[in-house]
Amino acid sequence: MVANGTITANYSTQYYLTLVATSGDGIKMDDESLKKLLKSENWAITAAVAENSTSPEILDMLARHKKWIVKAVVAENPYTSEKTLEKLAKDEDERVSATARKRLESLLRQ
């Protein structure tokens, strides 16, 4: 359960990952619910939000995450704005910046 913006011990991480991962195929989570999940210290939860979010605002927030994997997932998300991709293309982690540059190149070809 999310209480006061943090995940309580009553529910497992797997439960939240299941909710986020199925959000596009059944359970619909609104932006406010997803924003609450962003406060999790578990990078897998934030990566799952990044993978499934359609909100450019949430994706921009996640682009500032400390873990490279979360930022790389943001760069792969088709709903990530060009402005956010441009920031990620300058990331110090090559895995993030390369992913963002690849997405920017594909946008230019469209």
pLDDT in tens, 42-68: 888 888 889 888 899 999 999 999 999
Distance spanning both ends of the chain, measured CA to CA: 42
How far apart (Å, rounded) are the C-alpha atoms in residues 74 and 91?
12
Q: pLDDT category, 79, cuts 50, 70, 90?
A: very high
pLDDT computed for residue 36 by the predictor = 81
State residue 96 phi and psi, 5-degree precision: -75, -50
* Six token digits for residue 83: 């402005």
Spans of all domains in the chain? 2-109
Q: What is the pTM of this model?
A: 0.75
